[in-house]
Structure 1
């Protein structure tokens, strides 16, 4: 059987743009008529996605698959690490939680993990024409080289040519690229067929001499320099973008007439990309808030999003003073919406009898703003599924919503007991969530609701009418991930040497 060609994107460090470049290349090659799939052997991220068969993978690989026009599959990210502390993670293997592991225990299992990686890669190569492989962090962390499951070890398994990416916006582009090349073993460096400069600000004409100098010193071609952009919205891989202030949710929003929506940013915030479409709406002024001082004076809606460690983040809410401020604004009439971990936190208490996320028997008091109570079950009973839902209660925040079907997904180990007043009916016959009598306080387990245009517009309309009486917000074009992928592919077409890229794929780069 003929196996797919492979191409690997490695970077000089984390957040140099590997994930985004793979996303853009997935779209570009799909436009060229190739059946292309993404692959990342091991991903450490709190932003995750649920495949159609209920497997959990990194959000970045789901985005890349979407850009390629294919369904995400667990083989695209066979190992997902969801951090729970400085050296402990929940290990998700082929879409299902394996167990919580300390770093040393994880490294001891690397031989078995390598077999999983190899089988997943081979499965993709049998089904597609091209597999675009993403590395992680830096490929020359020499103290960890023996444990490598995601960089040159995978390039060797896939017999993949490698493109090395550097972030010029950080500075030190020569040192980072040339230093990385120097630290490779000779057989590793031989796999590197070209360099890509990412996130360039300024006049590209002034940088051409730098490209030529870099190519001469590295003794390999520079495929191009990709400009720094702020007008393309691609979902973020993880919260590192929040630390660097580059998340879509943190872009300046110069909107004088808008509704104020707050998304609470706790330490273990997860799946925050589901609010990208909301932040892009011109009638919304969205704030990502991590302290009481950052709260707007009069928020219209406060969203408590998902969390990988609900009990830890709930304790942080109380210690930081945000819990009291949220309760204060709720008393003043601000609407509340909790999603997954946020739904749990808004309740009366959260219990972890088996130690799924914390020490066994841990109980944390909730914000006591919804009459619900949550207990955690074992990881074997963790819910990971795509869901289709319809609103059951049209009032308050959801008064303008029709009965159209909404696409969403669930990722949770908690079980929440709520009184009769469910918010959503699921197609599979279940109900989810709770809503107050006036409709302005609610919670549910459904991620991705704001990706549904009907849901997003209805919530904005309800908030707008509440603040501006009957003055309707002006209609606007819908936010489209597909258009963003097209824009990214167009940018790469403009700034990368595609003829050289194809020669590298064919093994004719010389």
Structure 2
């Protein structure tokens, strides 16, 4: 049996397509269907690793989790990881095929279309329903002849399209009408409904506009989704990072965590579990003086370690972080941030940069050497040494995360490590990860997703609270195992025309 399909497209980027897809994945999973997400081409620096070591966009991993299925590379066969204004590392079926310029990439579209079609066919052969996500807008005139992610996919999937618009940013009716006007007749025929997203206020005040939209386009409105506050679902789009700009410092009774917003920051979703804690403020900072007074400073992952290390030196962050460490104030580096904390970075093969050598911050006892092979794997690990991340009580607790990097740490013989890797992609290994400074002030790790582990989060925040003289919050206010996907499904169920939705899925 070939699965039915439903495609979610948007009037623009960041209108909420990914979250709508996740909600629909859970809603139809609740109905007993075998549901799979699909996005043919994704551009994102927040990535995830599948159990077999493939790299996909974070959004499709989230959607797979919502559908209660194991994520696979077929769910996101093409992932573009931007390296500059006109270049991206291109991930195809989970593996990097190199760094391509925009023109080079577009020349490869014909062969990539064949591969996209094959991935979609495999998903349709093993599921009852595939929820497909588009990218940006289907009405980008300059890109339509090379489309590989919007109406082209709707056509090969024979999918009805729900067009989503973000009313919170304004101009939603113009966006809907303008998009329809720019589509070809056969493309307009695929649009089965509009969905208004992120609405705040009384929906009755919106009804005249909804009636106008339906009369003007002869396309029904599926529903009006409210703005969902404090949503605990991992971000993918850089716009969500922009929305974090200008966060105020924490109050005296809160924990203040400053994440250095590197120019090429990646996997910043690592810190969302901390943002959900009731007494924690996570700030993404761009100026060195903004880390002064923070309870913890984090150097996050980056797509360009050499270039961002140079930026740290040029902006004064390097000196500010070194000064902080000298005062025994905690500093954490993750992946690229970890590599920067070491003594040096070498790239003899030009894997990431034309620069072959750069001095690191010298706070941890290792060098990093870039090689041609990218490591992408899910890991099981345990604490190797007590630090502000893990204490002695949790030494035997198994932790879970993932690695995405091309640099390998070459540790000094006398160096300690932060974690012991027990398994990669299910295969048993015995390797050390990262490093901890002698006084425990500076910790580096190559493992993403650590704060998804409640024990790591708890140990870190307990350490920071004690250092600040704060008591732990009452147990009932701590983050619990709340299922946000059920919450999202409930929102859709309550605010859309379910009969119309069912009709679209059956068509």
Q: Which residue of structure 1 lines up, in the alignment, with residue 408 of structure 2?
A: 415
Q: Distance in 2 between matches of 1:60 and 1:396?
A: 30
Is contact 1:400–1:458 with CA below 8 Å preserved after alignment? no
SS at match of 2:430: coil
Q: Which residue of structure 2 lines up, in the alignment, with residue 226 of structure 1?
A: 225
Q: CA deviation at 1:477?
A: 5.5
Is contact 2:57–2:76 with CA below 8 Å preserved after alignment? yes
Q: CA deviation at 1:101?
A: 0.4
Q: Distance in 2 between matches of 1:252 and 1:209?
A: 39
Q: Which residue of structure 2 lines up, in the alignment, with residue 258 of structure 1?
A: 254
Q: Distance in 2 between matches of 1:135 and 1:481?
A: 30
Matches within 5 A, 1:37-436: 37-243=36-242, 245=243, 255-295=251-291, 297-359=292-354, 361-378=355-372, 381-399=373-391, 401-402=393-394, 403-419=396-412, 420-427=415-422, 428-436=429-437
Structure 1 unaligned runs (5+)?
A: none
Q: Distance in 2 between matches of 1:193 and 1:375?
A: 52
Is contact 2:11–2:176 with CA below 8 Å preserved after alignment? yes
Structure 2 unaligned runs (5+)?
A: 423-428
Is contact 1:263–1:303 with CA below 8 Å preserved after alignment? yes
Is contact 1:65–1:72 with CA below 8 Å preserved after alignment? yes
Is contact 2:387–2:443 with CA below 8 Å preserved after alignment? no
SS at match of 1:377: strand
| Residues 57-114 of structure 1: CA deviation (Å, up to 9, x unaligned) | 0000000001111111000000000000001000001001111100100010111100
Is contact 1:398–1:439 with CA below 8 Å preserved after alignment? no
User: RMSD between aligned alpha carbons?
Assistant: 1.8
**Residues 118 and 481 of structure 1: is their aligned pair in 2 closer, same or farther, counting only changes over 3 Å?**
farther
Q: Distance in 1 between matches of 2:375 and 2:126?
A: 28
| Residues 308-355 of structure 1: CA deviation (Å, up to 9, x unaligned) | 111111111122222222222222221011110000011122121111
| Residues 150-188 of structure 1: CA deviation (Å, up to 9, x unaligned) | 000000110000011111112111211101001111111
SS at match of 1:489: helix
Q: Distance in 2 between matches of 1:141 and 1:65?
A: 28
**Residues 472 and 190 of structure 1: is their aligned pair in 2 closer, same or farther, counting only changes over 3 Å?**
closer
Is contact 1:453–1:478 with CA below 8 Å preserved after alignment? no
Corresponding pairs, count: 498
SS at match of 2:322: helix
Q: CA deviation at 1:473?
A: 4.8
TM-score, normalization: structure 1? Answer: 0.94
Is contact 1:464–1:473 with CA below 8 Å preserved after alignment? no
Which runs of 4 or more aligned residues in structure 1 lie more than 3 Å from their structure 2 counterparts after TM superposition?
249-256, 471-482
